[in-house]
Structure 1
Amino acid sequence: MELIYWLRLKLKRAFDRIRNENLKKNALTAIPFWIASIITGLIAVLYTKLFLAAENLTVYLITWHAWLLFILTPTCFLAAWWIVKKFAPYAKGSGIPQVMAGLQISQPKNDGKLNKLLGVKIIVVKVISSIVMALGGGAIGREGPTIQIAASVFKIVYQVLPKWWPKIAKRNMIVTGAAAGLAAAFNTPLGGIVFAIEELTKTHFSYFKTAIFSSVIIAGLSAQALLGPYLYLGYPKIDHLSPFIFSGVLLVAIISGLLGSTMSKLILVIFAWKAKFKFTYQHALYVAGCAFILAGIAFFVDTSVLGSGKDIMQHSLFTGDKYLPWYMPLLRIGGPLVSFTTGAAGGIFAPALGAGASIGAVVSSWFQLSDTDTNLLILAGMVAFLTGVTRSPFTSVILVLEMTDRHSVIFHLILAGMVASLVSIIVDKHSLYDHLKTQYVKDVEMEENNDVVNPAERGGDVIADEPAGSKEV
C-alpha cells in the first residue's frame, strides 16, 4: 500500500508540474519557433534544388552552344530585374541588409514598413528572381536570399498567432529566423548562431539563446532530412603545413580584405550613380549592358566568371589543379559586381567566398606552394574576402570551418579574419550591409510618408550614405 501511495504521490506531483503555468507558457512560446524552423528547412531545401537545377541547366546550354549566352543572359537578367521592380522592390539583392533594416524598424508602429521588407510576396519574388538570374549565369548566391526568406517565414508565423498566445518579441522572431536561414542554407548551425550574435544583434545573447539554438537545430535537421548530412564543400586535405605558412596567410588576408572592401565600395558607387536615373529605360539599358558584359567575358575569356563560384572552390580544394590564372580574382570580383548591381535578387555570400578562394590559389601559385599549404591559403582567402564585405570575421571563420570540417586550422583562419577586418577599414569604415541597411530604412520611411517616388519607380538603388550608428540594429 505504501508503494501505491508513493507512486500516486509522484504522479500527482508530475501532473502538477505539467500544469504549471510557467511550463505551459514556455512550451507555447517555443512552438512558433519550432513550426517556423521546420517550414524554413523545407523551403531552403526546395530553393536549393531549384537554384542548383538552374545553374546546371546553364552549364548544359553553354556547353552545347556557348553563343546562347548572348541571348540567355540578357533575357534572364532583364526578366529577373523586372520581376523585382514590378512586384517587390525590396526583394532585390542579398536580403541580409533588408533583415537588418527590419530589425531596426521592428516596433509595432512600423508594421507597414516592415511588411515591405519581409513577407509572403518577398519570399515568392526572391525565389523566382534569383533562380532566373542563376539561369542566366549571374554570379550570385542563394545564401543571403535564404536569410531574408527565413526571416519572412518567422515574421509570418508571428503574425498569425492568436491574440491569446503568450507574447513573443517580433525582433526575437526575425533574428532567430535569419540565423535558421543561414544554418539551413550552408548546413552550418554554429555559423547561424554566430551570425545572429555578430551581425544582427547587439543585445544580450541570453534573450535569444534558447530560441536560436532550437530553431537552428530544427531548421538544419529539417533540411538534412531531405538532403542528407553533407558539408557545403567537403574535406580538403590540410596536414604537414609549412612552418612559414602564417606569412602566406597574412599576405592573402591583406589582399583579400582590401579587395573585398573595394568590391563593396564599387557596388555602392554604382548604386549612387544609378540612383540618378530618372527613367525606367535607363535601368533596363544598364541591366542589359551588365548581361552583355558578363556574357562577353564568359564567351571570350573564361566561363568561370559565371555562377556562384562554388565550382572554383571545389576545383581548387579537391583536385591536383590547384593554381588559377592571375586574372581569376578579377573575374570573380567583376562577375558579382555586374550581377549584384542589376537590382535583381541574388546574394553575395557565395560569390565572396569564391573570390577569396581564387585569391588564395593565385597567391599560392606565386610561391609554388604544396597542395596542403595551397588549401590553407584558399580557406584563408575565403574567410578574409567575406570579412572584407561583411566585417564579421568570426561568422566568416565559423562558416568556413563548418563547410570543410578542418578545425585544426582554426587559429590560421581567425588570424586571416582579424587581419582582413583591420585592413578593410582603409577602404571604408563600414560594411556593405551597413550602408545598404541604412538606405533601406530611409527608403521605407520616405515611401511610407509619400515624400519620394516609390523605389520601384526609380529602381530602388542605394546611395552610399554614411550609416547611422554603424552596426547598431
Structure 2
Amino acid sequence: MRQTVDWFVKNFQRLLDWLRQKTIHKEIGLATLQALPFWIASLLTGLVAVAYEKLFSIFEHLGTLLYIQSPVLSFVYIPGFFLLSWWLVRQYAPTSRGSGIPQLMASIELANPRHDARVDKLLSLKIAAVKIISSLSLLLGHGAIGREGPTLQISASIFRFVNRMLPDFWPPISKRIMLVTGGASGLAAAFNTPLGGIVFVVEELTKTHITQFRTAVFASVIIAGMTAQSLLGPYLYLGFPKITPVGFSFVWVVLVTGAVSGLMGAYLAKLLLWLSDWKARHFTKLYQQIIFVLVLGVLFAALLSVMGPNAGGSGKELMNRLLFTDHKQVHWYEFPGRFLGPVLSYMSGGAGGIFATSLSAGAALGALIAEVLHITQANYNLVILISMVGYLTGVTRSPFTSAILVLEMTDRHSAIFYLLLGAAVAGLIGHAVDRKSFYEHLKEKFILETA
C-alpha cells in the first residue's frame, strides 16, 4: 500500500513539474511573440530616425549655404521651395502637414477596430515618406522647422505598419499601445533622450495607466535609442554646457525666466492657432492658397534679410553658440526672428515641427532675459536652459517632458530643480493663457478631419 502511495505521489509530482514547465514555456513563448513586433518596429524606427537626421542636417546646411551665397535670389527660390513643400502635402498626404505630434495623439484616441480607416488617414508609410520629403523642401528654403515632431509621426507609422503585417495566428497586440510605444521610440531616437520619451508618453500621449504598457515602452525606447547610438555614437543633443552653482537667492531669476518664457511660448501657440483658423476661413480656393504660400515665402525671405540667417533653420547653431562660446549676448532682433520664423514656416502648410525651434527661441529669449536682469555671464547658461524649458512648456504644456528633455540633452543634473521650477511656473502661465495645449487643439481638428 505504501509503495502504491509513494508511486502515486512521485508520479503526481512529475506531472505537476511537467505542467509547470509547459505553462512557463507557453507564457514565455506568448510573451516573446507579443514583444517581437515592438522590437522589430523599434529597430526600424532607430534606423529611419538616424537616416532622417542625416538628411535633415544636410538639407539644413544646403539651405543656409544657398541663402548666404545669394540672399537677393532668396526672394525667388524660397517662395518656390515653400510652394513645393505645400504642394507635396496637399497632393499626396494632407495630414502630413505640420508637426506630426497632433496626428499621433489623434491616432491614439481613435485606435480601435471601428476607426481603422480614420487612423490610416493619419499614419502610413506614404504619409511618412511625404513628411520627410516635404520637410526637406522647406529646409532648402531655409525654413525654421524641426524634425522631432515629424519623427514621432514617422515612427508611429512604422509601428502601425509592423502591427498590420502580423498574420492572423499571431497573439493579439493592442493597437493603442503600439502607437504609444511608437511615439516614445520616435522621441527617444530623435533627441537621444530615452527618459524624455517615456515621460512624454505618460504626460502627453496617453491617459492609460503606465502598468498597461510600461514593458513595451521601456523595451522599445531602449532598442530605438541603442540603434541610433550605434550609428551616431553616444552623443548628447547639445553637449555639456558649463553650469555655475547658484544659491537660493537665484530663485527669483528662475521664477521670472519661467514666467516670461512660458508666456511667450503660450502666445506663439495662440498665434499659430489663430492664423490657422483665419487661413482656413479666407483662403479656400486653390489659387488663393498658392498666392498665400508664395507671399509667406517672400515674407520669410524679407525676415531673413532683416534679421539674418539665424531666423531660419532649426536654430541648433544658435543654441550651440549661446551655450558653448563666450559670445552669449544676442541682438534685440534675434528672438523676434526665432519667434516669427517658425510662424511663417509653419503657416506655409508644409511638413515641419516646432519642438526644436521652440528650444532655440527659448535660448535666444533666455539670453535676452539674462542681459536685462544683469546676470553675471557665468550664470547665463542656467538662465538660457530654464528659458528653453519654459518656452517649450508654454507651447506643449508638458512641463516634466520639457525639463527632462533639456536635462538629457545637456547632462546637467545639477540644474534639475531649477529646470523643474521654471517648467512649473511656465506651465501655470501657459494654462492661464489657454487651458488646452497647442497639440490638443490640433488633435481635435485632425479627429474631425478624418471623420
What band does the TM-score fall into relative to the shorter chain? over 0.9
Matched, 1:289 2:295: yes
Q: Deviations over 1:346-375 (max 9, x none)?
A: 000001111111111001111332233110
- State which structure, 1 or 2, has the greater radius of gyration over its C-alpha atoms: 2
Q: Report the TM-score, using the length of structure 2 for normalisation.
A: 0.94
Distance 1:315 1:18 in 2: 59
Question: How far off is 1:241 after superposition?
Answer: 2.7
Distance 2:67 2:348 in 1: 22
Equivalent of residue 333 in structure 1, options 325, 334, 339: 339
Correspondence list, 1:33-432, <5 A: 33-241=38-246, 243-276=248-281, 277-432=283-438
Question: How far off is 1:13 after superposition?
Answer: 7.8
Distance 1:90 1:226 in 2: 30
Question: How far off is 1:20 after superposition?
Answer: 1.7
Distance 1:431 1:58 in 2: 31
Q: Deviations over 1:409-438 (max 9, x none)?
A: 100000010000001122211110000000
Q: Deviations over 1:137-187 (max 9, x none)?
A: 111000000000000000000000001001100000000000000000000
SS in 1 for 2:121: helix
Q: Give the percent of matched residue pairs that are identical in Structure 1 and Structure 2.
A: 49
What is the identity, as a one-letter code, of the residue corresponding to 2:261?
A: S
Distance 1:314 1:81 in 2: 30
1:459 corresponds in structure 2 to none
Question: How far off is 1:19 after superposition?
Answer: 6.5
Q: Report the TM-score, using the length of structure 1 for normalisation.
A: 0.90
Native 8 Å contact 1:18 1:24 kept in 2: no
SS in 2 for 1:368: coil
Native 8 Å contact 2:88 2:130 kept in 1: yes
Question: How far off is 1:18 after superposition?
Answer: 8.9
1:450 corresponds in structure 2 to none
Displaced runs of 4 or more, over 6 A: 12-15
Residue correspondences, number: 435
Native 8 Å contact 1:317 1:375 kept in 2: yes
Question: How far off is 1:382 after superposition?
Answer: 0.5
Question: How far off is 1:330 after superposition?
Answer: 1.3
Distance 1:339 1:410 in 2: 32
What is the identity, as a one-letter code, of the residue corresponding to 1:315?
A: R
Comparing 290-299 with 348-357, greater Cα deviation is found at 290-299
What is the identity, as a one-letter code, of the residue corresponding to 1:166?
A: P
Distance 2:383 2:18 in 1: 60
Q: Deviations over 1:17-76 (max 9, x none)?
A: 697211100010000000000000000000000010001111222222222322221111
Native 8 Å contact 1:88 1:121 kept in 2: yes
Native 8 Å contact 2:396 2:439 kept in 1: yes
The answer for unaligned runs of 5 or more in structure 1 is 1-8, 446-473
Native 8 Å contact 1:241 1:372 kept in 2: no
The answer for unaligned runs of 5 or more in structure 2 is 1-13
Native 8 Å contact 2:262 2:427 kept in 1: yes
What is the identity, as a one-letter code, of the residue corresponding to 1:132?
A: S
Distance 1:60 1:266 in 2: 30
Comparing 279-288 with 381-390, greater Cα deviation is found at 279-288
Comparing 273-282 with 413-422, greater Cα deviation is found at 273-282
SS in 2 for 1:98: helix
1:448 corresponds in structure 2 to none
Do the aligned partners of residues 224 and 13 (structure 1) sit closer, same or farther apart at CA in structure 2, a change above 3 Å counting? farther
SS in 2 for 1:369: coil
1:441 corresponds in structure 2 to 447
Native 8 Å contact 2:100 2:153 kept in 1: yes
CA RMSD of superposed structures (Å): 1.6
Matched, 1:21 2:18: no
SS in 2 for 1:230: coil
Question: How far off is 1:120 after superposition?
Answer: 1.0
SS in 2 for 1:222: helix
Q: Deviations over 1:182-224 (max 9, x none)?
A: 0000000000000011000111100111000000000011111
Distance 2:136 2:233 in 1: 23
Native 8 Å contact 2:67 2:142 kept in 1: no
What is the identity, as a one-letter code, of the residue corresponding to 2:287?
A: Y
